[in-house]
Amino acid sequence: MPLSDYLHQYLSAPDNTWSLVSISFAVTFIIFFGIYILIRHSSKVTMMCYVLAFSLFFAYKANGILMLLLPATVLASYYLTRLMNKKEGKERLKWMWFIVVVDLLPLFYYKYTNFFIEILRDLTSSNFSPLSIILPVGISFYTFQAISYTVDVYKKRFTLETSLLEYAFYLTFFPLLMAGPITRAETLIPQLKHRYHITDTQVYTGLWLIMVGLVKKALIADYIAQYNNWIFDDPTAYSGFENLMGVMGYSLQIFCDFSGYSDISIGIAMLMGYELKENFRYPYQSLNLQEFWHRWHISLSTWFRDYLYIPLGGNRKGKLRTYFNNFISMVVAGLWHGASWMFFFWGVLHGIGLVVHKFCRQWLDKIENTWYVKFVAWAITYSYVMFTWVFFRSPNLHTAFEIIKKVFTDFSWAYLVPFVETRTAWVVFVALGMGLHAIRERHTERLKQRFIDSPITLKVILLFIVLQLVINFRLNDIQPFIYAQF
């Protein structure tokens, strides 16, 4: 192969196995972290440059040559926001909107071009062909962080003087790069301005979060994904009971996959001395859909609340406008996940669910809050969320309706015993995941504190057990991180 062709292939092709749960990253991070500990207190500039270089390397490994979009976004967003900050009145507003558009253009091109080509082709009955576009990993997350920085500076919610190096650190910070959580400037940048001592509590909390994340993502989610994939690939080949198990399994898989990855991200940041906000808070314990969105992907739901729902008018302009704002916010949230009609329908279903809940709230609030009422509310909420996941995961409407049809027309409890006997390990992992999720928050916090206070020997043993379980049960065909595609 000619040298030019080899270089082109090497620079263009991302490493699809590169993620926070890969062996290659783990080895690389250990080396990086050892050097980081040595230089962290020598010079703030040296430390930030070192982390920035590693973050760009991480972006390159995940995206190949497309990683250049990230530093381009850093430079454009930073300098344009500085220009905006010098303006006043309507001129300042125009600059804010201009920067938001500039930030969104790459996202729209890479994520939605083929979607619009498909719509145009259907409307005009033409033969437009989709373009060969590779979606850069993490583009939705760092784009939203850039927009939040600009808007917060515009509204003077964030007023700290920020250097280019600090902003570049904030926007490229590698634990957040692939899948968030979407972090505001007010959370991370102030921590860069002060070199705090990394406490034992931070280190052990970070280690705890990484272990919990590995159990969720690399153990539970990756293992149960195989059966779930079979169901969504060909639901007609299975009974209604098996389809329902696949839907239930996917609801657990996507939670463990994403919340586990978030735990690892927050844990790595904690090891490095940076405290980020939690992204999941037992969402399947919710008693209504509004509560669910206060607990699920918190960084995204609060982003849409602050930068879309409230600017649209929030709940300040009457009930009808409130319903409309809720609905539009969820539709946009659906399309944020991907350029697909399935994500659109998923957003529509959640928008309808939120509107119905808010409409009925005046009567629901009058019902006595007994344990029986709470159970019914939980069952309805979880069932509806699980129902909407069918549309989120299915490749098309036909598959989604086939799954739903199978569950309601071909369901029999006679499949229960044979299913448990045949897929015992899958059932155990699903039961384990559901059981862990059902634990009360205060009990989890107590367990975390016991881990923090435990002897170092016990910590090492527990870490070894987790790693050994992951190695023993993890599939050879490692499941990709679900939210990496968004």
C-alpha radius of gyration, the chain, whole number: 23
Look at residue 481 and give its three-state secondary structure: coil
Asked if residue 322 lies in contact with residue 315, where contact means CB atoms within 8 angstroms, the answer is yes
Q: How many CB atoms lie within 10 A of CB 325?
A: 22
Q: For 98, what's the count of Cα atoms within 13 Å in the CB-facing half-sphere?
A: 14
Q: What is the DSSP string of 326-343?
A: HHHHHHHHHHHT-SSHHH
Look-up: residue for tokens 């082109």?
A: 8
CA separation for the pair 483, 308 (Å, rounded): 21
Taking the C-alpha atoms of residue 213 and residue 225, their distance in angstroms, rounded to an integer, is 16
DSSP tally for the chain: helices H, then strands E: 22, 0
Question: Token match 């220009």: residue?
Answer: 83
Active-site residue, 337 included? yes
- State the catalytic residue, choosing from 337, 350, 437, 443: 337
Contact (Cβ atoms closer than 8 angstroms) between residue 217 and residue 257: yes
Q: Rounded to 10 degrees, what is the CA torsion of 296, 302, 305, 311?
A: -160
Q: Please give the Cα distance from 436 to 432 (Å, whole number).
A: 6
Question: Could you give the maximum distance between any two Cα atoms of the chain, in Å?
Answer: 75
Catalytic residues: 337
